[in-house]
Structure 1
Amino acid sequence: MRSPVVAGGRTVGPRVVVIGAGIVGCSLADELTVRGWTDVTVLEQGPLPAPGGSTSHAPGLVFQTSPSKTLARFAAYTIEKFRSLEVDGVSCFAQVGGLELATTPERLADLHRRAGCATAWGIRSEIVSTARCKELWPLLDESVVLGGFHTPGDGLARALLAARAQMDRATTRGARFLDRHTVTGIERENGRVTAVVTDRGTFPADHVVSAAGFWGPVIGRMAGVDVPLQPLAHQYARTAPLPELSGATAEASKPILRFQDRDLYFREHTDRIGIGSYAHRPLPVDPFAVPSYEEARAQDRAMPSSYPFTAEDWAPSWEECRRLLPALRETEIETGFNGVFSFTPDGMPLLGEAREPRGFWLAEAVWVTHSAGVAQAVAEWMVDGRPSLDVHECDLTRFEEAQRSPSYVRERGAQQFVEVYDVLHPLQPAERARPLRVSPFYARQQQLGGFFLEGGGWERPHWYEANAPLVDTLGELPERDAWSARYWSPIAAAEARATRERVALYDMTPLRRLEVTGPGALAFLDRMTSNNLRRKPGAVTYTLLLDEGGGICSDLTVARLASDHFQVGANSPADLDRLLRHAPADVRIRDVTSGTCCVGVWGPLARDLVQPLTHDDFSHEGFGYFRAKRTHIGHVPVTALRLSYVGELGWELYTTADSGLRLWDTLWEAGRRLGVVAAGRSAFNSLRLEKGYRAWGTDMTAEDTPFEAGLGFAVRMDKEGFTGQAALRDLAEPTRRLTPLLLTDPAAVVLGKEPVRVDGAPVGHVTSAAYGYTLGRCVAYAWLPAGLPTGTDVHIEYFGEKIAATVADEPLVDPEMTRIRR
């Protein structure tokens, strides 16, 4: 990277070119310049201050509550910042609050769940009665409303004003904004960006940030970077003046109103009502076919992001609007347009620096709602090397290669549009573009009646209907509520019990596998991770991938198969990306996941199943815990790792994909005499929580340190320097810890992200939870204040109800590890 420039005795930072002067580009210029990077040029193809992208027509709704803590914090910062900004005496934010309505029992229940999320993330909110909804929005027909969710801190961003205010601030610090500059190319040399080419000149750059909104794929192609983003048109209309609003002087005084049961939202425009609809068919837009500003104006369009209003799509929504707001029955739509917004396959932004070319950054698929928060995170990332909050859900590397085809991005992006206001269960999979990725065992899993959910494009069995007869042997299980009963079956309990008592086969193929080889492999991995990897071949080590601040970027299982050959069990494409960024020339890293497969063989009879199939010694003495061995199972060559993520004796058996089906069949036939079962992810999750095994991305992220997360055992502070070591040395005693909870009521269940209260005050939130069938209680892990003694009483808020739980010691099952080390 080019060294910071010093001008007039002050550091101005590297040369940054931001493409796009919408709300994200302007916010980013402000955030960069306030951190001392003032050599910032923002290029915009349209006219300023209203360039014609999504910012120019955005309705400005800013609502904080989301199942994603990251999005909630982005929105909270956006509100905080915009409230502090004004232009010509006009505030950039109207804090009128938000009101979500329930017109069905299902929606009302979901509003209670959303209120729990709000409490968990520190957002002020309340569930309100029908009468209170009517007070907040007098135009409502209260007969159709069952209740509401009120968030007084939410409101309306004046997006163009906020962009202008930040533009002015950044300009005073040295940034420049150039409109009517169309980017035509991005120059690269030696794997780095060097300049941005426009129709009005070339701009040298050390960093280039694409904040181009729905033009992101166009800019990405110029840099050779795939941008999995699908623009879609969204209907927005304004009514004629309403007599009920006559005399209004403020732009808005009532909360932003969301009628999610009919995919509608409402906001005031002084004496008119603005209405947005997600109820219509998806209207995809080709980003490469969007006209320039001048071309759009020549077509009698207000701006490139504004498409003609399609009245036929609007008609059903208009009837629903009039049903909810009877005053609309006496008026008509005065204006309307189809405005273009960006959607990704999972609905989250695309943030971060590309590995190739270095210096090319994305700040894409960002709505006004999260704009300032995203800009803050990206600016921290660029200047400090890491954002202050976890952004793994937004990382541009998060999608698998199989999820990046244009047809996949288009189909899943459209589905995200359809589901914007749907009540979505946390386990609910997408219905389309499936199956996409399947393990070699898929045909056998289908024969066994596998119930599949999806992750990373993989079909993942959660239980098997073939095991249904085993449910009769369990005794009575607690009855579940409607929400926790979705994507669950009592068969999971039978599979968990079979794992504890006999032996089960688990498909672990979706677990990411990296092959790291070369003369420098050991030194590289030892430097990149927290534990001691300088062990003899055959050793397996659990270790952590940390960032420079000591945050947990991932947890890895590293098997040393030979002196310069390692197999790394990782979590996401970001792990591969991080390792590749830092690998020296004498290290080769290859993702071998798709060409290989894995069966987990676990249970007290695992050795009885496997030993007769191999000539190698699988005794405890001959094949110890956390050891690796290359061997054969029947005719199949395998790499066997003696690991257990379920707390039982057993092995992970890896082979090539072409031999996978033979491996499964060999194990299945040999296991019949032992009562082997195939078991799914539902039982797996229950068993791993009973043992206190963490799941990265759910239980801990880059916001958390190993000592807070209870993973200090995976850190060797006495070894020669590793990434994050210096930061860990400077840490104070943790004030928060990942804490196990055991629910008091045997019938109670929580699922994750619920707030936890001590003495009535919210003090943390649940990360992951599952019913512990061995214990007869639900197990939950939560981030709570450090120092809570075992037995402390807490309450978990679940759909508005207080569920009693107590702080427990971990692991809850087999603390002596006798079941694994037998």
Structure 2
Amino acid sequence: MANVPSHARVVIIGGGVIGCSVAYHLSKLGWKDVVLLERKQLTSGTTWHAAGLIAQLRATKNMTKLAKYSQELYGSLEEETGVATGFKRCGSITVALTEERREEIYRQAAMARAFGVEVEEISPQEVLKRYEHLNIDGVKGAVYLDKDGQGDPANIALALAKGARQRGAKVIEQTAVTSIAKEGRRVTGVDWQQGDETGHIKADMIVNCGGMWGHEVGKMAGTNVPLHACEHFYIVTEAISGLSQLPVLRVPDECAYYKEDAGKMLLGAFEPNAKPWAMDGIPKDFEFDQLPEDFDHFEPILEAAVERMPMLAEAGIHTFFNGPESFTPDDAYHLGLAPEMDNVWVAAGFNSIGIQSAGGAGMALSQWMDEGEKPFDLGDVDINRMQPFQGNKTYLFERSKETLGLLYADHFPYRQKATARGIRRTPFHNHLQERGAVMGELAGWERANWFARDGQEAEYQYSWKRQNFFDNVRDEHMAVRQNVGMYDMSSFGKIRVEGRDAEAYLNYIGGGDYSVPVGKIVYTQFLNRRGGIEADVTVTRLSEHAYLVVTPAATRLADETWMRRNIGGFNVVITDVTAGEGVLAVMGPKSRELLQKVSPNDFSNDVNPFGTAQEIEIGMGLARVHRVTYVGELGWEVYVSADQAGHVFETLAEAGADLDMRLCGMHMMDSCRIEKGFRHFGHDITSEDHVLEAGLGFAVKTAKADFIGRQAVLDKKEAGLDMRMVQFKLTDPEPLLYHNEPILRDGEIVGYLTSGSYGHHLGGAIGLGYVPCKGEEPADVLASTYEIDVMGTRVKAEASLKPMYDPTSERVKV
């Protein structure tokens, strides 16, 4: 009976829309021996009951690119396969019921234009013309996307499966994967069961497309795939007389979405406090199953919906549906090569936007698998961003209560997750909290983002305008610029590289020159073969055979994984030592004076020039200081073993009181670094940004022996730059920049800001972004006039290729 082959180039586990998309795209690239195994029937997990909303606009350029690809693919699938996908471009409307939400959706509209998506801001009256059934009381504004649409989720998946079969892929149903065989960092095959029959299929690689089973499949493969199923509710009315095709409607302030479907209305909810499901595992016989109704849970959404769309009061409810969907800790799906294994790929955890994401995700993953490198930056969704602890079941249960609702929550700048907090704490955590720290969370780390004043509530009050911490951050910013500030950088990743080949290995993996004396610090990038930036780090030589690589907190695992995957034949040992040391940054014109008060060591330029480290005594303890800066001032990072961290903090705080030293947070660091034009990995520099176009050519040493990306750097030097990173300052001090605001050059959109913050010293909002410059000299780029689109309003901006703050870096070297 079994029709399972004995060997496959790739086994795809899971036959929802994602698994079918991966099979379709791999077979389209010419892959043979593609096998998809589905435990029950195709689509029987989540896909079959999805609402099928297909939107183009996502939070970043590449996620938008993938969503646009999905809808273009679905538009042509029916013709290719003969399977009706039900795809239609009916448009979508999102309405705002508050001024804050209006700013959010209008900023999204501006971003859409920068990403090449057609969008229109419309008035409440124009909403009514397109949606006559809507009560527009309280509607402050709306946006309309003409090319958004909807489709039949199950048939889209079946069309993808048919397209895969037509190119030779095997799609096998009623075949459960029971275990996965592994040797070292590779899987070798999977055991399967089909009825009473069992067998084994050897596999060169696997793809985990297990949906809400993805966490469990991940464990079988020795990988961490953090996601959790939640109940997701919608109702479908009886047929409504005279109801014709309508745009998809979203009313996020009421947690609701609406779509017309075959003369009926579907009302769905993303409520703020969700119901996690299946804490003890998903039932073995789960197939096309519904969960019990919970009308009390859905009732508040329905009550608001009846007010918003009065015809619902007259329509009977035909279906009350409750089905599970999987959600990840940060509401972004998981894609890519799992960090723990070298041939286990993941495409799972689609947070209720699986239909609109599946086409693009399948295309991107297939290209990545085919070429061995990401086709473009996928950092938002790369599974490498997930920390090991995030696979903890209790953590996932607590966080999933919030993540479902965050889809429709206000996406305020700096908004922090409220659930599953306090897991990773630095050695200074309590010291900072006692002194008014307001914590944010990144990669599970609790980090002081800003400090409340006496009598001020130590919590965020969110807004798109100046938030309640704006003046606090200005004071912290000015303390670092004019006096001295101290902040906690313990969350930054610390990776030790040691062994007889440590120097040669780093010279191969990194663009810098690491053949330096002990104590020298090298600011550097790890490049891919296209000259794109895989990591942005500092490397400190600790001894002849040992180095310390310091990474951003969010990318520690990704950077370590990149390093491990490129060891080759080098004799080195790589160890994550992040938790072993606390780090206090002491920055500002009086930082040397402060350190001299607490240490007998010499911090002069003769002994400890910029870019060097030294071991010191401090208070009654020992530490190592690195003279580097991310804020553009004289300063040191003080590395101290975790056991002595409390003592060193108290020593510095006590001595700092005489100098009026101020404790500072991460928001200050961001506003200072953007004034100085320092790049932020993940925003300004990514795997698809060429290191020369990012303005970081000074950190690349092509004269040394061959290294990853060297040829791409030489080629770009010869061909010339296509883009340049430019710093902008708004001439009006009032508007705020966050990121993704369109850049206009001589009146035309040419790009968007990759990051934005407020420059408290320079007196206006500052942004960084790439500007096309093919065939141009630097002077040509600066000869134009520039504007930034802030929520639909064009604001004049000054442009500079050099840092606007201290362009010659005199302040850091005094």
TM-score range, shorter chain: over 0.9
Q: Output the CA distance in 2 between the equivalents of 1:236 and 1:798.
A: 36
Q: CA deviation at 1:100?
A: 0.8
Taking the TM superposition and a 5 Å limit, the aligned residue runs for 1:477-516 are: 482-486=463-467, 488-516=469-497
8 Å CA contact 1:428–1:487 kept in 2: the answer is no
Matched, 1:781 2:750: no
Aligned to 1:9: none
Matched, 1:108 2:88: no
Counterparts in 2 of 1:673 and 1:296: CA distance versus 1, 3 Å: closer
Q: Output the CA distance in 1 between the equivalents of 2:710 and 2:145.
A: 41
Aligned to 1:219: 217
Q: Output the CA distance in 2 between the equivalents of 1:362 and 1:271.
A: 38
* Residue identity opposite 1:214 in structure 2: M
* Residue identity opposite 1:132 in structure 2: E
Matched, 1:606 2:598: no
8 Å CA contact 1:215–1:288 kept in 2: the answer is no
Q: CA deviation at 1:281?
A: 4.5
Taking the TM superposition and a 5 Å limit, the aligned residue runs for 1:532-681 are: 532-571=513-552, 572=555, 573-583=557-567, 584=569, 586-681=571-666
Segment of structure 1 superposing worse, 556-565 or 100-109: 100-109
Counterparts in 2 of 1:282 and 1:749: CA distance versus 1, 3 Å: closer
8 Å CA contact 1:33–1:174 kept in 2: the answer is yes
Q: Output the CA distance in 1 between the equivalents of 2:432 and 2:31.
A: 55
Aligned to 1:474: none
SS of corresponding position for 2:266:
strand
8 Å CA contact 1:739–1:781 kept in 2: the answer is yes
Matched, 1:396 2:380: no
User: Aligned Cα RMSD in Å?
Assistant: 2.1
SS of corresponding position for 2:242:
helix
8 Å CA contact 1:465–1:491 kept in 2: the answer is yes
SS of corresponding position for 1:749:
coil
Matched, 1:15 2:13: no
Give deviations 1:334-370, integer Å, cap 9, x for gaps: 1122121110000011112224332111111121111
Aligned to 2:47: 55
2:301 to 317, 320, 325: 317
Aligned to 2:311: 327
Q: Output the CA distance in 1 between the equivalents of 2:286 and 2:485.
A: 62
Q: Output the CA distance in 2 between the equivalents of 1:462 and 1:296.
A: 44
Counterparts in 2 of 1:315 and 1:603: CA distance versus 1, 3 Å: closer
Segment of structure 1 superposing worse, 805-814 or 255-264: 805-814
Matched, 1:522 2:506: no
Taking the TM superposition and a 5 Å limit, the aligned residue runs for 1:215-254 are: 215-245=213-243, 253-254=245-246
8 Å CA contact 1:531–1:543 kept in 2: the answer is yes
Give deviations 1:255-307, integer Å, cap 9, x for gaps: 11111111111111111111211237422122763234xx357xxxxx13x32
SS of corresponding position for 2:376:
coil
Q: Output the CA distance in 2 between the equivalents of 1:514 and 1:451.
A: 28
Q: CA deviation at 1:230?
A: 0.6
8 Å CA contact 2:100–2:463 kept in 1: the answer is no
Q: Output the CA distance in 2 between the equivalents of 1:748 and 1:315.
A: 40
Alignment gaps of 5+ in structure 2: 1-6
Q: Output the CA distance in 1 between the equivalents of 2:696 and 2:454.
A: 35
Segment of structure 1 superposing worse, 481-490 or 109-118: 481-490
8 Å CA contact 1:218–1:287 kept in 2: the answer is no
SS of corresponding position for 2:725:
strand
Q: CA deviation at 1:89?
A: 7.0
Taking the TM superposition and a 5 Å limit, the aligned residue runs for 1:15-94 are: 15-48=9-42, 51-86=43-78, 87-88=81-82, 90=84, 93-94=87-88
Counterparts in 2 of 1:773 and 1:313: CA distance versus 1, 3 Å: closer
Q: CA deviation at 1:558?
A: 0.2
Q: CA deviation at 1:582?
A: 2.6
* Residue identity opposite 1:239 in structure 2: T
* Residue identity opposite 1:208 in structure 2: I
Q: CA deviation at 1:790?
A: 2.5
Alignment gaps of 5+ in structure 1: 1-12, 298-302, 470-479
Aligned to 2:429: 442
Q: Output the CA distance in 2 between the equivalents of 1:181 and 1:408.
A: 31
Aligned to 1:263: 255
Taking the TM superposition and a 5 Å limit, the aligned residue runs for 1:373-384 are: 373-384=360-371
Q: Output the CA distance in 2 between the equivalents of 1:224 and 1:206.
A: 16
Q: Output the CA distance in 2 between the equivalents of 1:277 and 1:495.
A: 41
Q: Output the CA distance in 2 between the equivalents of 1:331 and 1:414.
A: 31
Counterparts in 2 of 1:204 and 1:221: CA distance versus 1, 3 Å: same
Give deviations 1:630-662, integer Å, cap 9, x for gaps: 222222211111111111111111011111111
Q: CA deviation at 1:14?
A: 6.9
Give deviations 1:457-515, integer Å, cap 9, x for gaps: 2222233235999xxxxxxxxxx995132263312222222222222112111111111
1:465 to 452, 476, 495: 452
Segment of structure 1 superposing worse, 806-815 or 697-706: 806-815
SS of corresponding position for 1:308:
coil
Q: CA deviation at 1:391?
A: 1.1
Give deviations 1:409-463, integer Å, cap 9, x for gaps: 2211221112220112131111222322222222322232122222222222233
Matched, 1:169 2:153: no
2:121 to 110, 116, 127: 127
* Residue identity opposite 1:441 in structure 2: F
Segment of structure 1 superposing worse, 365-374 or 103-112: 103-112
Matched, 1:702 2:696: no
Give deviations 1:604-637, integer Å, cap 9, x for gaps: 1211121243333211111111011122222221
SS of corresponding position for 1:485:
coil
Q: CA deviation at 1:166?
A: 2.1
* Residue identity opposite 2:503 in structure 1: L
Give deviations 1:39-81, integer Å, cap 9, x for gaps: 1000111224xx4121111111011223233332221111111
8 Å CA contact 2:83–2:155 kept in 1: the answer is no
* Residue identity opposite 1:331 in structure 2: A
Q: CA deviation at 1:704?
A: 0.5
Q: Output the CA distance in 2 between the equivalents of 1:190 and 1:449.
A: 48
8 Å CA contact 1:795–1:802 kept in 2: the answer is yes
8 Å CA contact 1:62–1:154 kept in 2: the answer is yes
8 Å CA contact 1:96–1:256 kept in 2: the answer is yes
Aligned to 2:344: 360
Q: CA deviation at 1:173?
A: 2.0
Q: Output the CA distance in 2 between the equivalents of 1:309 and 1:639.
A: 60
Counterparts in 2 of 1:550 and 1:406: CA distance versus 1, 3 Å: same
Q: Output the CA distance in 2 between the equivalents of 1:379 and 1:279.
A: 34
Q: Output the CA distance in 2 between the equivalents of 1:373 and 1:19.
A: 19
8 Å CA contact 1:124–1:151 kept in 2: the answer is yes
Counterparts in 2 of 1:162 and 1:482: CA distance versus 1, 3 Å: closer
Counterparts in 2 of 1:442 and 1:417: CA distance versus 1, 3 Å: same
Count of paired positions:
784
Aligned to 1:341: 325
Give deviations 1:781-804, integer Å, cap 9, x for gaps: 112222553363222122222222
Aligned to 2:274: 282
Superposition TM-score, scaled by structure 1 size: 0.92
Q: Output the CA distance in 1 between the equivalents of 2:452 and 2:278.
A: 43
Aligned to 2:3: none
SS of corresponding position for 1:238:
strand
Q: Output the CA distance in 2 between the equivalents of 1:61 and 1:364.
A: 18
8 Å CA contact 1:347–1:413 kept in 2: the answer is no
8 Å CA contact 2:536–2:681 kept in 1: the answer is yes
* Residue identity opposite 1:116 in structure 2: A
8 Å CA contact 1:83–1:92 kept in 2: the answer is no
Q: CA deviation at 1:591?
A: 1.3
Aligned to 1:807: 799
SS of corresponding position for 1:722:
coil
Q: Output the CA distance in 2 between the equivalents of 1:577 and 1:504.
A: 34
* Residue identity opposite 1:47 in structure 2: Q
Q: Output the CA distance in 1 between the equivalents of 2:701 and 2:454.
A: 44
Counterparts in 2 of 1:659 and 1:38: CA distance versus 1, 3 Å: same
Aligned to 2:142: 148
Aligned to 2:512: 531
Q: Output the CA distance in 2 between the equivalents of 1:501 and 1:658.
A: 32
